[in-house]
Amino acid sequence: MRYSKWFILLICFCCLLSCKKTKYAGNDTLIDSLVISFPNSFTPDKNGPQLNESYKPVYAFGAYKKDSDTVFIKTVNTPLKKYEMEIRDAENKVLFYTENINEGWNGTARNKSMPNGPYNAYFHLEGITQGIINKNIQFVLIR
């Protein structure tokens, strides 16, 4: 009886640890973790490099390094349950919206090139098994 109590406690402790790991990958090396990095600038000048021509996050699986511009979200080798990116200008006008993580903003709105300056990207990320991450990233359009 006494051992069974300890056994139950041990199980609970392990569950707590695993929950913590599952909720936030942090610095752990997890093969199925998705790392999303947010640049703070892009230059849609059609002069390359292609990655910098539109604004979108850069993501990769299986990475572990964390810095201030990186979000870790655990997934099961699939992108995300839900993804939203909304671009607003400094005056809070919506310029672009997408639910496709591979689609970037090309620096135009209503077929007009937007001027150099600061913009805001609002991200809504939902992992397969985790909670929701909302993030605002300020970035600069420059060309």
Partner 1 sequence: MIKNYFLFTLLILGYSLNAQKDLHYLRLLHYTVESPASIHFQGKLSAKAGLGFAFTNDDQHVKDAFSLCYFSKLFKFAVQYKQEDDSYNSINKQSKNISLNRYFKIRKKKDILSVGLDLKMLKYTINWDEFKWADQADPTRGFTKPTNETHTNNDVIAASFDLACLYYNTQKDYFAGLIFNDITSPFIGFNNGTGSGTRLPRELILYGGYNYEIVKHLTTTSTLLLRSFNFHNDMFVKQDIIYKNKYWAAIETNLKSDFKIFLGIQPYRGWRWGLSADIQPNPRSIHGNTNFYKLSIGYALF
Binding site for partner 1 (CB under 8 A): 35, 37, 39-43, 45-49, 51-52, 55-56, 58-60, 62-65, 67, 69-70, 86, 88, 90-93, 109-110, 112-120, 122, 134, 136, 138-140, 142-143
Report CA dihedral (132, 122, 60, 133) to the nearest 10 degrees.
Answer: -10
Which is nearer to partner 1, 18 or 78 (by Cβ)? 78
Structure tokens at 90: 């400094």
Q: How far is the CB of 54 from partner 1 (least distance, A)?
A: 8
Beta bridge partners, 111, equal none
Q: How far is the CB of 3 from partner 1 (least distance, A)?
A: 44
Which is nearer to partner 1, 107 or 130 (by Cβ)? 107
Q: How far is the CB of 114 from partner 1 (least distance, A)?
A: 7
Which is nearer to partner 1, 55 or 130 (by Cβ)? 55
Per the CB < 8 A criterion, the answer to whether 50 and 21 are in contact is no
Q: How far is the CB of 120 from partner 1 (least distance, A)?
A: 4
- Write the CB contacts of 97 (distance below 8 Å, at least 6 apart in sequence): 84, 85, 86, 87
- Write the CB contacts of 141 (distance below 8 Å, at least 6 apart in sequence): 41, 42, 43, 44, 55, 107, 114, 115, 116, 117, 119
Which is nearer to partner 1, 5 or 91 (by Cβ)? 91
